[in-house]
Amino acid sequence: MHHFNFKSEELYCEEVPLKKIASEVGTPFYCYSQATLTRHVQQFSEPFKDVDALLCYAVKANSNIAVLRLLLSLGCGADIVSGGELFRVLKAGGERKKIVFSGVGKREDEIEFALKEKILSLNVESAQELELVSNIAKKLKTKAPISIRVNPDIDPKTHPYISTGLLQNKFGIPLKEAIGLFHKASKDPNLDLVGIDCHIGSQVTELAPFLDALRSIKNTIKQLKSEGIKIDHLDIGGGLGITYSDENPPHPRDYAKAVLDELAGLDLMLIMEPGRVIVGNAGILVTKVLFTKHTSQKEFVIVDAAMNDLIRPGLYNAYQEIIPVKESSSESTKVVDVVGPVCETGDFLARERKMPTVSPGDLLAVMSAGAYGFSMSSNYNSRPRVAEILVNGDKFAVIRKREALEDLILGETMAHWLGGKD
């Protein structure tokens, strides 16, 4: 359940009509429901309340600092994958000892930033990274808290672009190789080995892949313990999917029960990194119909949002439900492609979609757009990025203003030989 519902044939976010936001802010815009965000955090965290567990929200899913501030205020930590995300979390008031840093390609300056801020853990993903972290810690005269991310070679049964737990993926270290790195890290005076980490992929809609991965990790933990290596926490990553169309992912309470049953008896703090399941269905993208176009082959609905605003359909061929903001009394429908203004054939929000007949000026809501929507947007075709809105009951706030044309060239300069200034 989310807080986007029709009232008197108009689509509302909580108690605010989307038509009102559009009239004041313009289109396109992302709109997030605070009530939905709050409920999702509570649904995920409640089943783990009786164990030593930390929910580290995956910032990459939606990194707006107002959204972060809300989630952090609800007790979340943060899973980051860049120095920029660390900067955002700190600006939003995040607790340093609730931050874990993932990712295969951390730069020296990012590692140094994280160590100086004394975050909970750097999740190391290669032997060379382990050596680099050790060298930087030595230079800073500190001990670097690290976890080692293992790759359990588990098929998450999701889109190949968001699968991360197979040996063919770039993430983590194969289990057999990881044991040697654990031993190396445990003996390094510059490192503080605090955990083991695993993440198999995103938009996973079955429990079995999670449990298969946990069994492999559990066996690794037992082997490490038998060899005298002690760790403090197990980071099981995120990846729990949501409903976009006809998916039926496990409810967070069922996920929690299965995880806790599997890990019973392990005396470790549990870290989780949910992202999509928290923000995905808490946000939508509102766009306006510009034109309708008929050819001998297709019916097109051309809108003012494009692939630069929401790339998931074009990148993953992902399904996003699209509905008119105003319900129509007519039963007339058409099979259409919903497309944007960008000069790419791949610029579409939906293909061969049966939809109510719409006209120029009508507003459409692209549902389930709170995760990997704005955070993956760009300025392709020199299109200013859209506004972001947070709704709380009967009020709303612009939490990111729409970019202006001048913002497009911010930081750019003419080369001096072209008549520009140095």
343 is an active site residue: yes
Tokens (6 digits) for 324: 């008119």
Q: Which residues pair with 391 in a beta bridge?
A: 33, 396
Query: What's the rounded Cα separation, in Å, for the pair 361 and 368?
Result: 22
Neighbour-count burial for 62-82, b at 16+ CB within 10 Å, e otherwise: bbbbbbbbbbbebebbbbbbb
Tokens (6 digits) for 40: 């999702």
Amino acid at 142: T
Instruction: Give 3-state DSSP helix, strand, coil % of the chain, rounded to 5.
Output: 35, 25, 40
Closest by Cα among 151, 156, 118 to 137? 118
- How is residue 163 annotated by DSSP? B
Query: What's the rounded Cα separation, in Å, for the pair 238 and 213?
Result: 12
At residue 135, the 3 state secondary structure works out as helix
Contact 236, 198 (CB under 8 A): yes
Closest by Cα among 6, 65, 5 to 398? 65
At residue 212, the 3 state secondary structure works out as helix
The count of residues in the chain is: 422
Amino acid at 27: T
Query: What's the rounded Cα separation, in Å, for the pair 284 and 322?
Result: 10
What is the dihedral sign for C-alpha 249, 253, 254, 259?
Answer: positive
Contact 384, 404 (CB under 8 A): yes
State the burial class of residue 368 (Cβ atoms within 10 Å of its Cβ: 0-12, 13-18, 19+). buried
At residue 272, the 3 state secondary structure works out as strand
Contact 355, 331 (CB under 8 A): no
State the burial class of residue 217 (Cβ atoms within 10 Å of its Cβ: 0-12, 13-18, 19+). buried
Contact 259, 236 (CB under 8 A): yes
Catalytic residues: 343
